Amino acid sequence: MDLPFDGAISEFFEFAAPDAVRAAIRRADKGDILDAAFPYSDRLARKVYDQEMQRVQIELVKCQSWVRQSGARVVVVFEGRDAAGKGG
């Protein structure tokens, strides 16, 4: 059985990634962070952060309510760098 994204990253690297990205990856050592600012070049202002956090927390509560009502199963993936406050 083929997995849905099996080899997708390698395929992107070989055939679709820009030359500069491929060169940077080839030069990098394991564990290197190629762009310390990725994905954001600037820190959010506290007011903007709080507004966005409130908005996404509301969406999370709506999703939680739907899961309870429907009995659906969900998978939650927390993306971020190590020690980024993901709790484990």
**Rounded CA gap, 66 and 74, in Å?**
11
pLDDT in tens, 2-46: 666 778 888 999 999 999 999 999 999 988 888 877 777 788 899
Task: State the residue for tokens 């994905």.
Answer: 39
Alpha-carbon distances, residue 29 vs 7, 24, 39 (angstroms): 21, 10, 20
Phi, psi of 72 (to 5 degrees): -65, 155
Q: Are 34 and 25 in contact (CB under 8 A)?
A: yes
Q: Give the pLDDT score at 43.
A: 81
Query: The pTM is what?
Result: 0.48
Using 50, 70 and 90 to split pLDDT, how confident is the model at 80? low
- List the domain boundaries for the chain: 8-70
